[in-house]
Structure 1
């Protein structure tokens, strides 16, 4: 049965399977069939658009990144070849396939019994993020049940983090009652919350680095299209520092500038289409929750309503938002430099650097688009992630080559910067592969405490995060209230 499920999924792909799931979920929520059908079509169109744009841009930006790496003289043994290899490996293992089938059932049961308020089943495709860690664990321990248990446990704490950030993410990205919950992009909630007081102490909250500020102060040079071109020029020049006197170099530089400008312009349009897939579902959730909760202030009700629940949506919904894509692109050359100077690092990030806008969404939402804070959080957390990826390199390479694809010629060890540069995930993995009941029990205990606090104090947590976000400059709720 597992092989049949895998075969069906591989034939149809995410752009077909995800719309079908959304159609089913919409009907379950009593959305009109015509509206449910359009939601499904928008999901398919959006996912297809994301795929086309990223596939067209990836070869160009990857080549530039490789040139930047060559210019710095970086020689690191573990090479990032992208998340796709890990995805294939997760579907190629028995543990991964088992989670793909039974994980969906678990997601429905966890939601039905109120363990989580995130309806993860609507984001079926991103389950490979849980599957790859179980696959790695099975490769190391050969213990099927322990490995499957690891995937399920990672699902549990990912749902908890997704619910913690849900109100902020939903408000910032403008999709009511929705939150991203993919394992590989959710743990950034932790540094975004923990490090925020430090950044405020340093005055980062008073520095006006938001898309709104750029647009108001810089005019045409603050528009996302123009900013994309300028960032493209910068990255292109960094990738061609040794050949700026040649026509070929400037041809590549200008090509990157135009393509990144296109990404900044086109991606928000695709995102708008993709968001339409979830709007009817989110509105239906809103009607259901409001019918069970009354009050005079709609905004307060949304925060205090403990029955409010959220759709798990693909993080492509937020990719094209200006602060998200700008900060993600700025982090590309920064992380190349960090990989070069970080003592003890063995990981060379390349292909997955294009995923950085996906990787910073939670930070963007929690900091309300403060680009400086996003970059600072990213540098700290992804630097720790490089160490995690360096430690996991041997395990990941073995699992991918065994269950997935053959290694590229000339490469000994591989990784995925997006999947493996995850400090929290690596800690949980370490606890389970140790097969030590004390370490595994400690991980479970930490989760249970987090869940109890979340269930009891969710409104207070959301209010705290909203107040924290309002401290950033230029917003009406800011204590410093700085205007443009």
Structure 2
């Protein structure tokens, strides 16, 4: 098992910009795309992923410090610290059950496609850690290998079904034809956020508000341009963090750059995926008629839409405010604040990019997330103990990506209920 774990980590450490071209090339050959075309497609996807990661790095390294500055400036003092998704990912991979889950995840996914139980081929292996976190949660509570594996499979099935269900909206709103998002955090937040957004859209006085980027641009002219919106939001975040004037302008320009560059990086990646998707659909139509296949990709692709980025960035100060006022909440949002734009990936298209509806919906969604993350803290603290360095002053640690994730929380409750049987 140790050897398998080392092999898995060796592959993952290469990174998506190298592994994705290899995966795309293999998938292309499987679906009878010419080798040269498959190779070109894979390289194009890898280059697109490099661009996306560069922009995401600009986003997280800019928003993260601003959020931390807000925490310090307003003197927020809560005892459970959000350690961020990298810490929980490391804690999940450190559990004994983690290595065996990779082949199991692949087998289950392929089996479900063959049995026509899912249309999503999940090639986003870096986000398999969400499924592994579910299995690791069950293992920490019960110490049962087989039960942990079952919990991981349940989580995977749920993620694939949500990805299938939301794929038409992904295609329609983001323009990502043949793509779905089997990303555990985005799917779990969507599971709560989409029903909430449907209710929000029926509230008198709010339901008629048109606040998608196109309408904002028409109404406010240059101030409605996505890059200008990014600059304004960046300036607001920096001001809340107490930045000096030059740094306020720097953060504003960085967020304007993210808004401008991300759609272009996603477009490059999609140029590589189109021939593979066309090849897959041709083979499936020959064999199964009108059956469709989605390529499962990282929900980070959603940040190519200005409304998704705007909603996610606006949710940073709102989440901090909620953490302070909610009775019974003990979580100090911290490490995952910069990841919030990825959490809203499925909520925004359900509202056709209406930023007002999306922000209201995500605010309600985040209330549930904070309470779940508080409840999850003891188990996540145990998962990360000795694996990562805890933030200074933290009595316990949790995170929003996993702890505030309803699918993981349901696995937690399931394992706790059945624990006496083990």
TM-score by length of 1: 0.81
**What are structure 1's unaligned runs of at least 5 residues?**
241-247, 295-304, 439-484
Contact kept? 2:197, 2:358, Cα under 8 Å: no
Which of residues 276, 282, 292 in structure 1 aligns to 2:277?
282
CA deviation profile, 1:204-237 (whole Å, cap 9, x unmatched): 3321100111222222111111111111111111
**What are structure 2's unaligned runs of at least 5 residues?**
none
The separation in 2 between residues aligned to 1:97 and 1:62, in whole angstroms, is 31
Contact kept? 1:18, 1:124, Cα under 8 Å: no
Helix, strand or coil: the match of 1:358?
A: helix
1:167 aligns with 2:168: yes
Helix, strand or coil: the match of 2:244?
A: helix
Which of residues 373, 377, 399 in structure 1 aligns to 2:357?
373
Give the match for residue 190 of structure 2.
Answer: 189
Shift of 1:293: 8.9
Shift of 1:61: 2.0
Contact kept? 2:85, 2:402, Cα under 8 Å: yes
Judge which range, 414-423 or 204-213, deviates more.
414-423
1:268 aligns with 2:291: no
Shift of 1:43: 2.5
Helix, strand or coil: the match of 1:201?
A: coil
Which of residues 400, 415, 422 in structure 2 aligns to 1:432?
415
Helix, strand or coil: the match of 1:188?
A: helix
Shift of 1:136: 2.2
Shift of 1:284: 2.6
CA deviation profile, 1:308-350 (whole Å, cap 9, x unmatched): 2311112122112111111111111111111111111111112
Within a 5 Å distance, the mapping from 1:436-451 to structure 2 comes to: none
CA deviation profile, 1:289-315 (whole Å, cap 9, x unmatched): 666799xxxxxxxxxx5x223111121
Give the match for residue 53 of structure 1.
Answer: 55
Give the match for residue 386 of structure 1.
Answer: 370
The separation in 2 between residues aligned to 1:142 and 1:261, in whole angstroms, is 48
Give the match for residue 112 of structure 1.
Answer: 114
Give the match for residue 359 of structure 1.
Answer: 343
1:420 aligns with 2:381: no
Within a 5 Å distance, the mapping from 1:4-153 to structure 2 comes to: 4-120=6-122, 122-153=123-154
CA deviation profile, 1:377-417 (whole Å, cap 9, x unmatched): 21111210111111111211211224x32324443322222
1:326 aligns with 2:310: yes
Helix, strand or coil: the match of 1:351?
A: coil
Helix, strand or coil: the match of 1:418?
A: coil
The separation in 1 between residues aligned to 2:61 and 2:197, in whole angstroms, is 35
Mark the CA change 1:108 to 1:369 in structure 2 (over 3 Å): closer, same or farther: same
CA deviation profile, 1:445-465 (whole Å, cap 9, x unmatched): xxxxxxxxxxxxxxxxxxxxx
Contact kept? 1:175, 1:282, Cα under 8 Å: no
Give the match for residue 458 of structure 1.
Answer: none
Contact kept? 1:275, 1:317, Cα under 8 Å: no
Give the match for residue 159 of structure 2.
Answer: 158
CA deviation profile, 1:102-157 (whole Å, cap 9, x unmatched): 2112211111121212112x222211111012112212221121112111110011
CA deviation profile, 1:56-104 (whole Å, cap 9, x unmatched): 4433322221221223332111112221112222222221111112211
Mark the CA change 1:388 to 1:355 in structure 2 (over 3 Å): closer, same or farther: same
CA deviation profile, 1:437-478 (whole Å, cap 9, x unmatched): 99xxxxxxxxxxxxxxxxxxxxxxxxxxxxxxxxxxxxxxxx
Give the match for residue 238 of structure 2.
Answer: 236
The separation in 2 between residues aligned to 1:30 and 1:417, in whole angstroms, is 41
Mark the CA change 1:69 to 1:281 in structure 2 (over 3 Å): closer, same or farther: same
Contact kept? 2:141, 2:419, Cα under 8 Å: no
Helix, strand or coil: the match of 1:284?
A: helix
Contact kept? 1:224, 1:265, Cα under 8 Å: yes
Helix, strand or coil: the match of 2:210?
A: coil
The separation in 2 between residues aligned to 1:185 and 1:9, in whole angstroms, is 24
Aligned residues: 418
Greater length-normalized contact order (CA 8 Å, ≥ 6 residues apart): 2
Helix, strand or coil: the match of 1:206?
A: coil
Mark the CA change 1:196 to 1:257 in structure 2 (over 3 Å): closer, same or farther: closer
Helix, strand or coil: the match of 1:205?
A: coil
The separation in 2 between residues aligned to 1:348 and 1:59, in whole angstroms, is 19
The separation in 2 between residues aligned to 1:161 and 1:215, in whole angstroms, is 32
Give the match for residue 382 of structure 2.
Answer: 398
The separation in 2 between residues aligned to 1:415 and 1:39, in whole angstroms, is 39
Contact kept? 2:79, 2:393, Cα under 8 Å: no
1:309 aligns with 2:304: no
TM-score by length of 2: 0.93
